Chains A and B, each alone.
Chain A
Amino acid sequence: EVQLVQSGAEVKKPGESLKISCKGSGYSFTNYWIGWVRQMPGKGLEWMGIIYPGDSSTRYSPSFQGQVTFSVDESITTAYLQWNSLKASDSAMYYCATRTPYYGFPEYYDYWGQGTLVTVSS
C-alpha cells in the first residue's frame, strides 16, 4: 500500500527556520516525483513545485522559487520542505503528493500525505 506520512504540526516564530518531512512507503520511492502543495487557511490548493528523489532534480513554481527548498534522503525514503526564515504568511497546511507508477513529470497526484499544519506567529 502506497503511503505518504508527513511530520506533525509546527508552531514557529517569524524569522525561524523549519524543515517538515514526508516519508514514502509501499512503492519505489526513488523513481517517482514528489510534489508539494500549499493550502492557506480557508483558501485553495497551490502547487509549490516538485522533486525527483532519484537525483534530487527540482522544479519550483515561480511563486515559490527562492522562498523554500526541497530535498530528499533516499536512505530513509523521506522528502523535505524547508524554510530558512519563516514569515507569518507561510502559515498554511502543506501537503506532499505523488503519482505512482508514472515515469515522468506528473501533472496530477493520486497519493497524498495527510498534511502538515505550519503556524507562524510572534
Chain B
Amino acid sequence: SSELTQDPAVSVALGQSVRITCQGDSLRTHYVAWYQQKPGQAPLLVIYEKRNRPSGIPDRFSGSSSGNTASLTITGAQAEDEADYYCNSRDTSGNYVVFGGGTKLTVL
C-alpha cells in the first residue's frame, strides 16, 4: 500500500476546473510533485515542489498543499488532459520515495 492516497478516478466537463488530491502524513514535511501519464507513455512531470511548473507545462496546471493534503488543479480542462495523474514525495522517514496510487482523469 502507498503512503500517499489518491482518489482512483475523477471526471470533469470540458473547459471546467478539476482538483485532484493526494493525502499523506509525509506531505506535512516534504514537497510533492505531480506527473501526468498517458497510455503507452512515460510519466511527465507537471508540478514540482508543491506549485512549480516545468518549462512547457501549460499554466492551466497548478499545485497547492496544506497540511497533509496536496492538490493538483487543472483550470479549464482540455481533452488532451485526459490521463492518469500521480503524486509523489518522500515517505515519512524521508529515506525513500513514494508514489500515490494514481487518479484516472476523464474529460467529458
Contact = CB atoms under 8 A, between A and B. Distances in A.
A1 B54 CA distance: 15
Interface string B65-98: 0000000000000000000101011100001111
A35 B43 contact: no
Task: Categorize the interface residue count of chain B.
Answer: 20 to 34
A107 B49 CA distance: 10
Which of B37, B49, B96 has the largest count of A CB atoms less than 10 A from its CB? B96
Contacts of B49: 108
10 contacts: A45-B37, A46-B99, A47-B97, A47-B98, A59-B95, A61-B96, A95-B43, A108-B33, A108-B49, A110-B45
A53 interface: no
A45 B42 contact: no
B7 to A, nearest CB: 13
A44 B102 contact: yes
B43 A108 contact: no
A45 B89 contact: no
Contact of B99 (A44, A62, A115): A44
B42 A115 contact: yes
